[in-house]
Chain A
Amino acid sequence: MAVMTVAKAINEGLRAALENNPKTLLMGEDIGELGGVYRITEGLKRDFGADRVVDTPLGESGIIGTAIGLALRGYRPVCEIQFDGFVFPAFNQITTQLAKLRTRSDGMLGAPVVIRIPYGGGIGSVEHHSESPEALFAHTAGLRIITPSNPQDAYWMVQQAIDCQDPVIVFEPKRRYWLKGEVDTVNAPPSPFTAQVLREGSDATVVAYGPLVPVALAAAEAAQPDGHSVEVIDLRSISPIDFDTVTASVAKTGRLVVAHEAPTFGGIGGEIAARISERAFLSLEAPVIRVGGFHMPYPVARTEEHYLPDIDRILEALERAFAY
């Protein structure tokens, strides 16, 4: 097994997809010579040519709109959106066109387009470069949304997304691009649309995804000396959500904290809280508690360490859960 960063794992995953299927092509701004602003596509244009690693004009709607046309012609376009906050010019194409093509054609047509979006904060960047807009897309039926938290998932999820017959958005935790880990390039992990229990525990469950998975694991570790056994679930898929795995965990632990960088209002944590209250009401010892961003546009970089959920914020939520 090779050790590589999340960034390298996605690069290798894309390389494998380009090698395995001649219909796969990458599209995006600056993804060719430059290799993308995060160098995720580094070297791919050199090896696969400009027709398969396409530097597009600067236009996100244009990227997704033309990708839909290419998919209708049998191609498997993988679009890179440069930063989370820049996806909105393409919001119309994604939500009114891409998400609905299958249903409006009564199941006859599909557009298996993959959209990669680096997301989340913690990199000290400027406005529109640190957002977590996943809930806006999760609300749209017809899309699938996944997010890797480690190199192994990063390598496989992008390939599984390309193989999927439905449109898939892969939210890539940009502050974890340099996180290293082992990658098994032979054995694929479970379906990308399932959650994974990363750490077993008996007293409380913390659900996290993407950039907050390492934070949740560290919080669970920190709770251990106080005698709290905390289970940690990497959600992996934001749409659909693997409620079976979460429900089974809560049935065992009785307490649930959901952590994400996105604002809590109208977010994924609220959805999980509602579903779990329906599915496991009698197992709950405490209300489901959310840890997330505040109801404000992503704040300026010099304040983000106070905005982003960290170990202490998750521990504080756990304490509140244990207090019931």
Chain B
Amino acid sequence: MSGTRLPAAEFESEEIALASAPPGPDGGPGMVQFLDPDGRLNDHPEFGGFSSGTGAERLKALYRDMYLIRRFDQEATALQRQGQLALWVPLTGQEAAQIGSGRALQAQDYVFPTYREHGVALTRGVRLSEMLRLFRGITNGGWDPRETNFHLYTLVLAAQALHAVGYAMGLQRDQAADPTLAPAASVAYFGDGASSEGDVHEAMVFAASFNAPVVFFCQNNHWAISVPSSVQTRVPLAQRAEGYGFPGIRVDGNDVVAVEAVTNWALEHARSGKGPVLIEAFTYRMSAHTTADDPTKYRLSREEEDWHPRDPLARLEKHLRTTGKAGDAFFEELVGEAKAMAVELRRDVQAMQPPGLEERFNTVYAEPHPLVQEELQAWRDYEAGFIGEEETS
């Protein structure tokens, strides 16, 4: 029987070896890249036409977003160290993946993030200080997703992938009912760790079955807290899409130009009714998983050094400088802007007051609930018993 291959031959050893190796920066020959680590910009035969442009203004705008969100990340980390936040989840290293994909979105698209998508939030217009409310322990949300089409963070990872598919099924029905609506897609963000969760599998099955307009955007940052991506998968994650019957693309997640072009293509694919797409943004978590994490216990500093030359900001800066698209003035101005942003952020965070427990009682149900009402009243009575005690104690 010609064409029959043994299962072991399906993924040839090169690919398995690549995926199973310690996290190195080599994304393999199939990875889409426009801007190489030396700052050289190359055209791409397949996706070149989907870039929103590589002119000075466009690239400076992308750099500005990446720079501001990295500065935001540093400020939030500092606020956590100073006890102003309970926890922080750094994104450093993933700026290109997030800004590139976020800037490809249109207003009518809807995003379902994990808890690390601060860069995408910036592109959607979420106020940066609002993102810190969750980490300050004063809310489990923080912003109104209806204003920005950027959903609340999800902490039980992978659950949001199904929400994105369901939302896309709703978009499908809305567009069928009203063809004048602007075509839209939803985007599910997740990482290499969450790719092992069953919900991601079910999300891809449902998306394929219903041809839902959803883009699965997987940031493979190579570490699920302390476990390397080789424990999650033995083939490149993008390759999994083939098993579900839709396109999967590995893009250099540290190349903001490539990420934006590939995401443009994927969103257009989804919006035009061609179904889901999986993007694997090949990137690296340059910092800790959270401020409670200690990467020195599980990875070598050598590995971090290997990735350092691929820093998404450094490569775009090289390109901007060597091509003369931007010079000192631009970068110095940005430093000042970022500093002002940090000052404002710090002021906003310190001004955030904790809510009363009464508010929590009132948000459990939409409609009156006798148990909640009874417990709220009992709690109020209990608290009232302490009035005046503070002065005397």
- Where the two chains meet, the residues of A that have a C-beta atom closer than 8 Å to any C-beta of B are 22, 25, 51, 56-57, 59, 61-62, 64-75, 77, 89, 92-93, 96-97, 100, 102-110, 112, 141-142, 144, 164-166, 193, 239-244
A93-B159 in contact (CB<8A): yes
Name 20 extra pairs, CB < 8 A, besides A65-B166, A166-B366: A51-B176, A56-B206, A61-B202, A62-B203, A65-B159, A66-B162, A69-B162, A69-B163, A69-B165, A69-B170, A70-B169, A75-B173, A96-B156, A97-B159, A102-B363, A103-B364, A107-B363, A108-B141, A108-B146, A142-B365
**Alpha-carbon gap, A166 to B372, bound state (A):** 14
Contacts of A89 in B (CB 8 A): 198
**Alpha-carbon gap, A248 to B159, bound state (A):** 43
Q: How far is the CB of B212 from chain A (nearest CB, A)?
A: 9
A73-B167 in contact (CB<8A): yes
A105-B163 in contact (CB<8A): no
A75-B170 in contact (CB<8A): yes
A65-B162 in contact (CB<8A): yes
Contacts of A92 in B (CB 8 A): 156, 159, 199
Contacts of B363 in A (CB 8 A): 102-103, 105-107
**Alpha-carbon gap, A104 to B159, bound state (A):** 15
A-B residue pairs in contact (CB < 8 Å), sample of 21: A22-B177, A57-B202, A61-B199, A62-B165, A62-B199, A65-B161, A66-B162, A66-B166, A93-B199, A97-B154, A102-B363, A103-B360, A103-B363, A103-B364, A104-B152, A105-B144, A105-B363, A106-B139, A106-B141, A107-B366, A165-B367
Contacts of B161 in A (CB 8 A): 65
Q: How far is the CB of A122 from chain B (nearest CB, A)?
A: 30
Assuming A69-B186, A166-B367, A240-B370, is B198 touching A61 (CB within 8 A)? yes
Contacts of B59 in A (CB 8 A): none
Contacts of A74 in B (CB 8 A): 170
Closest to A163 in B: B367
B141-A105 in contact (CB<8A): yes
A57-B205 in contact (CB<8A): yes
Contacts of B164 in A (CB 8 A): 69
Q: How far is the CB of B347 from chain A (nearest CB, A)?
A: 22
A72-B364 in contact (CB<8A): no
Assuming A102-B364, A106-B139, is B202 touching A62 (CB within 8 A)? yes
**Alpha-carbon gap, A141 to B367, bound state (A):** 13
Does B322 lie at the interface of the complex (its beta carbon under 8 Å from any beta carbon of A)?
A: no
Contacts of B370 in A (CB 8 A): 193, 240, 242-244
Most buried by A among B161, B359, B366: B366
Interface residues of B in 168-187 (CB under 8 A from A): 168-171, 173-174, 176-177, 186
B173-A51 in contact (CB<8A): yes
Contacts of A166 in B (CB 8 A): 365-367
Contacts of B167 in A (CB 8 A): 69-70, 72-73
A68-B364 in contact (CB<8A): no
Does B196 lie at the interface of the complex (its beta carbon under 8 Å from any beta carbon of A)?
A: no
Number of chain B interface residues as a range: 35 or more
Does B371 lie at the interface of the complex (its beta carbon under 8 Å from any beta carbon of A)?
A: yes
**Alpha-carbon gap, A112 to B366, bound state (A):** 10
B163-A72 in contact (CB<8A): yes
Q: How far is the CB of A232 from chain B (nearest CB, A)?
A: 22
Does B369 lie at the interface of the complex (its beta carbon under 8 Å from any beta carbon of A)?
A: yes
Assuming A62-B202, A109-B145, is B166 touching A68 (CB within 8 A)? yes
Q: How far is the CB of B208 from chain A (nearest CB, A)?
A: 9
A141-B141 in contact (CB<8A): no
Chain B 128-168 interface 0/1 with A at a Cβ cutoff of 8 Å (1 = within): 00000000000111001110000110101001011111111
A62-B140 in contact (CB<8A): no
A102-B159 in contact (CB<8A): no
Contacts of A64 in B (CB 8 A): 162
Most buried by B among A97, A106, A141: A106
Q: How far is the CB of B322 from chain A (nearest CB, A)?
A: 45
Contacts of B145 in A (CB 8 A): 105, 108-109
Contacts of B163 in A (CB 8 A): 65-66, 68-69, 72, 97
Contacts of A72 in B (CB 8 A): 151, 163, 166-167, 170
Contacts of A193 in B (CB 8 A): 370
Closest to B212 in A: A66
Interface residues of B in 340-393 (CB under 8 A from A): 359-360, 362-367, 369-372
Does B323 lie at the interface of the complex (its beta carbon under 8 Å from any beta carbon of A)?
A: no
Does B209 lie at the interface of the complex (its beta carbon under 8 Å from any beta carbon of A)?
A: yes
Q: How far is the CB of B152 from chain A (nearest CB, A)?
A: 6
Contacts of A56 in B (CB 8 A): 206, 209
Residue from B141, B169, B173 in contact with A66 in the complex, judged by beta carbons closer than 8 Å: B169
B159-A103 in contact (CB<8A): no
**Alpha-carbon gap, A193 to B164, bound state (A):** 32
Contacts of B173 in A (CB 8 A): 25, 51, 75
Assuming A104-B141, A107-B362, is B162 touching A61 (CB within 8 A)? yes
**Alpha-carbon gap, A75 to B139, bound state (A):** 26
Most buried by B among A51, A72, A165: A72
Closest to A141 in B: B364
Assuming A51-B176, A97-B163, is B202 touching A102 (CB within 8 A)? no
**Alpha-carbon gap, A99 to B60, bound state (A):** 43
A62-B206 in contact (CB<8A): yes
Closest to A100 in B: B140
